[in-house]
Structure 1
């Protein structure tokens, strides 16, 4: 296997693993909020923070993609 293929597989596994972690974190947060009967504003804040983390992760990937395609 070429070195380029190793980097591609490593990148795919990294992003896939981090995406799975975000899904597992959201499931865990949902379970904790549901069991503790948290008010709606608390749920909105908790999901908002988790969502902003995911959006930041996606933005980083998109910015990195543009930079790599531009040769930076």
Structure 2
């Protein structure tokens, strides 16, 4: 296997790991919100912050792919 294949597998594994971590964080937050009987506005704020964190991570990945594709990095 070539070095580039190892790098691609490493990147894919890391992205899947982060997706799994975000999923587990979401499940634990859901459980805490349910057990704590948090009002709807509070739930909205918590999920908004979690979504923005995920969106920032995805945006970083897209920007990184774009920059690598154009040869900037």
Tell me if both proteins adopt one fold, taking TM over 0.5 as the criterion.
yes
2: distance between equivalents of 1:36 and 1:8? 42
C-alpha RMSD of matched pairs (Å): 0.5
Gaps of 5+ in 1: none
Secondary structure of residue in 1 paired with 2:21: helix
Runs of 4+ in 1 over 6 A off after TM superposition: none
Kindly tell me the number of residue pairs found equivalent between the two proteins: 72
Structure 2 residue aligned with 1:9 = 9
Structure 2 residue aligned with 1:50 = 50
TM-score (normalizing by structure 2): 0.96
Structure 2 residue aligned with 1:70 = 70
2: distance between equivalents of 1:47 and 1:27? 11
Gaps of 5+ in 2: none
Residues 20-39 of structure 1 mapped to structure 2, 5 A cutoff: 20-39=20-39
Larger RCO (CA within 8 A; separation ≥ 6): 1
